[in-house]
Structure 1
């Protein structure tokens, strides 16, 4: 059932694993976490759009049940909830999505786990999403499917509704052949994706990996637009292109200018005393983010003779993530043990301890940290894009601030004026951080100016509008 917009006026469907709101047993309905909601919402306000997704809370196993009634999330964004019971969540979300696809698509930083029974549930959930859209979308609608949780939806939907225009965007990296070969369901995934008219990726390397795999495993050939598919019905073109996602620059700029947020930034610096510099890391607690390696690199650098006499504070925010999974529980233990050892070493030399925050912060608190920090450290081992790096740049309206950025983050392709580092090489991490600290004010401002132009020229609204424009042209 569509709530929030009249069905006959809707021509754009957003299909994602999660709705813009989630249901919490204690807090009730609240905004969903993650970058997709913040990236899409600004542009969708100008459209009569429907968002199809799961609410983040399972229904009972013995019944599909129903959620408490709620007002529409936005006057212009209607919602259709796809129910998942607890056993489906375990197989689909915890199993295939977070234990197979997520690690595999991030260079197998941890070993992926493949279970055929889980993939059967994955197929069933993808079919449920596709059937819902097929039942609700008007003739000729634009349907934009998002991310690795729903890779089978494009082909399943095309089989039922060939009249709609189907786009798919992958927010995470698409793996190279050596990694993709490990996936037991690779042919199903490729055939699912090529049901789309337009397939978008964060980076050119991901788009290239996908085209190579499609040409190698399917009756497909490369074209100027992407792919040409051959089957018994003839040929069909699929457009494949790069659409780097950006932050909601308007929202973050406005927050950074808010007196309360600016005062909070001043308070943060005051609370740490007379420190010369503040280094900052803000990440989900995920093994792709390289938090433990960053802690080790910063600790070694601060202990060195070059920096031991400088008053430098490092703040690391780790946002809880997927804490019900054993691999994430083990990661938390590893990170916090690394932190404990680091702080013992720093304390022995009379140096400032690393300040560690393990909680989900309000966006106003995060922006205050962005304003308080002199140097932002984004050193993920693998990342589709990484919006934290772009949010930090957006908030530095006065042209100050310095960004140390992983070459393995998709953002590095656009933010080449950051101090780029190899995230798996402790010596290179130290080199990049040291160079950012020692750079002159003029160089730092020049770099930040170029970074800001890159971010503001490709923000969330531009990303959404460019993808939907290409989708309209792809049929």
Structure 2
């Protein structure tokens, strides 16, 4: 339901800004719009503001992602009907589609994502010429639209929580428009080490850092990423005629803030660095995983997995990912193949349940990667499969209920990203596994900081070592598995989404 909005609401005391909002629209055949609400930590956290849960004191600013969203913006002037949003106030921005595509696809996802995840094949890429500069201008326009909307919506002294690399320039832009605001920015990705970050043109690197440093607080998923940002600020800004300091013994904060100043001018400000390791929502996952649709998916998966020739249940190695280049799905499949070659007794006794849900298929490199995942899975099944055993059960159509079913069936969880800000799958599977699953975890996942002691930790590039870890996971003594699984589940749920969000808000309000 979309209704016309004629009266501007009161200024908000709490604001969230993110590329994707809590609701999206599709146009029905009769011309009406159908709203679909999303989930996740931000939705959960924002709904917790206010004792009555009405959201009257908060607003979420997001971008229109498709034609249905843009039509909703046209009909409502961007202030969506609370009936569509679960009672939340949402300001959706109708950014020009070409500007949005250049900012989101070409800069955020094809440049910044690649830098922070260290994905470039540097003999050939990146290459920053005139086309990049045009796309960068679109990224600035996109960020400016958010900054101006936040400035319009915010009450005096309001708290603003800006999300992720898409909006890295917003804090600085917003600070210039509204110096009264308390501004936070949270990075959901890793942060590149300084030497890799400096692949970017020098002036672009500076603008990104100073944009971030417009915030009062910068949040990261681990201290590893926070300290990488610190090193970037210190080295890049020094070369650009600026100074950045990281106090080692600052009173009251243990040196966890960064100050920067122009060498010939007054202080540019102080920005506090903080870590909030987003956890799994254990209560939601346990309730959702026991609904009838999940039971149906479990029955279907059990049929696909089958039983061993001796009638015993087959063991399962489970992974659930989007086909992001950083998720390392192909090497995970090759490691499973190596397990079967190195330890032939596992043949027909174990199945790799791999969900690789397509992501960013509008980018050619992602389409090619998705095709390679399918090709490698098919090759393993052709090489090693038997009439009664399919070594890899691969699903590429997104199905949340099926993912939860696989979590419950997991004997081993394989999470081997090349580089990942956190990786919630590493936290979710131990919460739901009914078989006290063992976790094989990349040391390059942010989750390693919290789960590493009880996981089997691997170098994500080392196929032989990952195969050995899978074997160790499958043969781990039951008592050890159970003890580790309990500790993994406890650590995974230590900071659930609502608490994660509200902790940041409370700290920002200070």
TM (normalized to structure 2)? 0.85
SS at match of 1:24: strand
Matched with 1:85 is: 96
SS at match of 1:410: coil
**Distance 1:237-1:262 versus aligned 2 partners, 3 A rule:** same
SS at match of 1:323: coil
Question: For 2:74 and 2:8, how far apart are their aligned partners in 1?
Answer: 25
Matched, 1:108 2:108: no
Contact 1:311 1:352 in 2 (8 A): no
**Distance 1:207-1:45 versus aligned 2 partners, 3 A rule:** same
Matched, 1:446 2:457: no
Contact 1:59 1:86 in 2 (8 A): no
SS at match of 1:437: helix
TM (normalized to structure 1)? 0.91
Structure 1 counterpart of 2:231, from 204, 212, 227: 212
Contact 1:46 1:76 in 2 (8 A): no
Matched with 1:301 is: 339
Matched with 1:43 is: 45
Structure 2 counterpart of 1:150, from 167, 170, 181: 167
Cα displacement string for residues 290-324 of structure 1 (whole angstroms, at most 9, x for unaligned residues): 11111111012123344344511111111111101
Question: For 2:427 and 2:391, how far apart are their aligned partners in 1?
Answer: 27
**Distance 1:404-1:14 versus aligned 2 partners, 3 A rule:** same
How many residues align? The count is: 466
Matched with 2:36 is: 30
**Distance 1:164-1:230 versus aligned 2 partners, 3 A rule:** same
Structure 1 counterpart of 2:180, from 163, 180, 184: 163
Matched with 2:251 is: none
Contact 1:58 1:89 in 2 (8 A): no
Contact 2:26 2:69 in 1 (8 A): no
Cα displacement string for residues 38-61 of structure 1 (whole angstroms, at most 9, x for unaligned residues): 012222222132110113115899
Matched, 1:222 2:246: yes
**Structure 1 residue 399: Cα displacement:** 6.7
Structure 1: 5+ residue runs without aligned partners?
none
Contact 1:59 1:83 in 2 (8 A): no
Question: For 1:28 and 1:320, how far apart are their aligned partners in 2?
Answer: 24
**Distance 1:279-1:205 versus aligned 2 partners, 3 A rule:** same
Question: For 2:4 and 2:384, how far apart are their aligned partners in 1?
Answer: 57
Question: For 1:373 and 1:312, how far apart are their aligned partners in 2?
Answer: 11
Matched, 1:246 2:279: yes
Contact 2:162 2:171 in 1 (8 A): yes
SS at match of 2:327: coil
Contact 2:305 2:314 in 1 (8 A): no
Contact 2:438 2:455 in 1 (8 A): yes
Matched with 1:193 is: 212
**Distance 1:225-1:161 versus aligned 2 partners, 3 A rule:** same
Contact 2:4 2:75 in 1 (8 A): no
Structure 2: 5+ residue runs without aligned partners?
50-54, 248-254, 308-312
The farther-off stretch of 429-438 and 225-234 is 225-234
Question: For 1:203 and 1:109, how far apart are their aligned partners in 2?
Answer: 23
Matched, 1:455 2:457: no
Structure 2 counterpart of 1:322, from 343, 360, 363: 360
Structure 2 counterpart of 1:408, from 427, 438, 444: 444
Matched, 1:436 2:473: yes
Cα displacement string for residues 392-444 of structure 1 (whole angstroms, at most 9, x for unaligned residues): 12223x57222211111101111121211111110111011111101011000
Structure 1 counterpart of 2:428, from 391, 398, 405: 391
Matched with 1:334 is: 372
**Structure 1 residue 142: Cα displacement:** 0.5
SS at match of 2:451: coil
Question: For 2:404 and 2:8, how far apart are their aligned partners in 1?
Answer: 36
Contact 1:166 1:471 in 2 (8 A): yes
